[in-house]
């Protein structure tokens, strides 16, 4: 189950996000959809990076019946990425949701041996989504 707190005028494809979440976990997930200004503030406070970003994941301690964690997604950032990569906003939000959810589930592309990249690739193929975030980021390096 997911709970969406929407601070924007964007109406997400809730059915797609629920389907993705149910495919990966039966744990509750909180999702906040926000703008770049709020994301920048959260990123500065939590990571010491004074810039907006696309998605942040905040896993919670594994306690029975507690949520898996919270995802914060900048819809404004996603709109820019969707335009840049010629994706729909719904697809871009789904990619960010998958990426963040994999982090909540313990994957970390910065330290693993490609497991997160492979899992992300498998999921985007399964759900018919465009190129993954990790692949796009690697292409920019």
109 labelled ligand-binding: yes
| Letter string b/e over residues 69-90, b meaning 16 or more CB atoms within 10 A of that residue's CB | bbbbbbbbbbbebbeeeebebb
28 labelled ligand-binding: no
**Which element (helix H / strand E) includes 106?**
none
103 labelled ligand-binding: yes
2-6: strand order across its sheet = 2-6, 29-34, 69-74, 55-59
Q: Who contacts 84 (Cβ-Cβ below 8 Å, separation ≥6)?
A: none
Binding-site residue numbers for Zn(2+) are 99, 103, 109
* Residue numbering of the annotated binding site: 99, 103, 109
């Amino acid at each position: 189950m997911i709970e969406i707190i929407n601070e924007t005028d964007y109406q997400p494809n809730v059915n797609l996000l629920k389907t993705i979440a149910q495919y990966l976990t039966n744990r509750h997930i909180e999702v906040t959809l926000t703008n770049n200004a709020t994301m920048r503030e959260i990123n500065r406070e939590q990571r010491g990076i004074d810039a907006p970003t696309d998605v942040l994941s905040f896993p919670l301690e594994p306690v029975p019946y507690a949520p898996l964690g919270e995802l914060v997604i900048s819809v404004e950032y996603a709109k820019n990425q969707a335009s840049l990569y010629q994706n729909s906003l719904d697809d871009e939000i789904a990619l960010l949701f998958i990426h963040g959810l994999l982090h909540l589930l313990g994957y970390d592309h910065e330290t693993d041996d490609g497991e997160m990249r492979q899992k992300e690739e498998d999921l985007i193929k399964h759900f018919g989504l465009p190129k993954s975030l990790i692949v796009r980021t690697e292409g920019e390096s």
